[in-house]
């Protein structure tokens, strides 16, 4: 049973006997003494897609949803549908853009390490790997001597995602990104 503080985007939990997937997590740190960190989480029902907002303390336990998890690879996009392949059985699954809200900017062709959540053999959503590697396609020129500073600049990646990177990163470099936070981790 995961704690509220351990949840990440697309985690599957059970609330009132129904399966929900985590869509967004907002962390609130109260300023008063002795107050605990609060996690405001938006869930989406895995079947009906109905949204549910709940607030938990960091040490509140949630029940994991009773769904199966399989390793898949992102194959291709066909219009509004995104297709994935089971790496063991070669079964095909597809999800539409609305079901992948907030995750599309991290999908690159051939991306492996994705976990597909299945309920009665129906695809419900995906959990992205924490570390994703992408190429920088556009960023201002690197500055000489910038490696010693902690300043950042914007960079556009292959999927169109824009993130902040250190000043020493150049166009064409391959970098690692944390898919939970959307932040630069290191060069690949």
What residue segments make up the domains of the chain, in order of their start? 4-64, 68-127, 131-187
Sheet holding 92-96, edge to edge: 92-96, 81-86, 68-78, 114-119, 122-127
**pLDDT recorded at residue 98:** 81
Note the Cα 145 to chain centre separation in Å. 33
Is this structure's pTM higher than 0.85? no
Those residues of the chain that have pLDDT short of 50 are none
Q: Quick check: do 68-127 and 131-187 share a fold?
A: yes
Indicate the CATH number of 4-64 among 3.40.50.720, 2.30.30.30, 3.90.700.10, 3.30.360.10: 2.30.30.30
**pLDDT recorded at residue 132:** 92
Secondary-structure class of domain 68-127 per CATH: mainly beta
Indicate the CATH number of 131-187 among 3.30.420.40, 3.20.20.70, 2.40.50.140, 1.20.1250.20: 2.40.50.140
């Amino acid at each position: 049973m995961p704690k509220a503080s351990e949840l990440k985007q697309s985690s599957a939990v059970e609330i009132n006997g129904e399966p929900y997937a985590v869509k967004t997590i907002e962390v609130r740190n109260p300023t008063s003494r002795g107050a605990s960190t609060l996690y405001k989480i938006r869930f989406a029902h895995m079947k009906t897609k109905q949204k549910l907002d709940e607030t938990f303390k960091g040490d509140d336990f949630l029940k994991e949803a009773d769904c199966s998890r399989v390793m898949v690879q992102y194959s291709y996009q066909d219009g509004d549908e995104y297709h994935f392949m089971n790496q063991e059985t070669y079964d095909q699954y597809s999800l539409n853009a609305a079901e992948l809200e907030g995750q599309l900017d991290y999908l690159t062709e051939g991306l492996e390490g994705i976990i597909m959540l299945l309920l009665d053999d129906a695809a419900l959503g995906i959990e992205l790997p924490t570390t994703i590697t992408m190429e920088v396609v556009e960023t201002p020129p690197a500055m000489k001597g910038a490696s010693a500073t902690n300043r950042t600049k914007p960079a556009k990646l292959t999927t169109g995602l824009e993130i902040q990177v250190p000043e020493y990163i150049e166009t064409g470099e391959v970098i690692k990104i944390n898919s939970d936070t959307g932040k630069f981790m290191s060069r690949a």
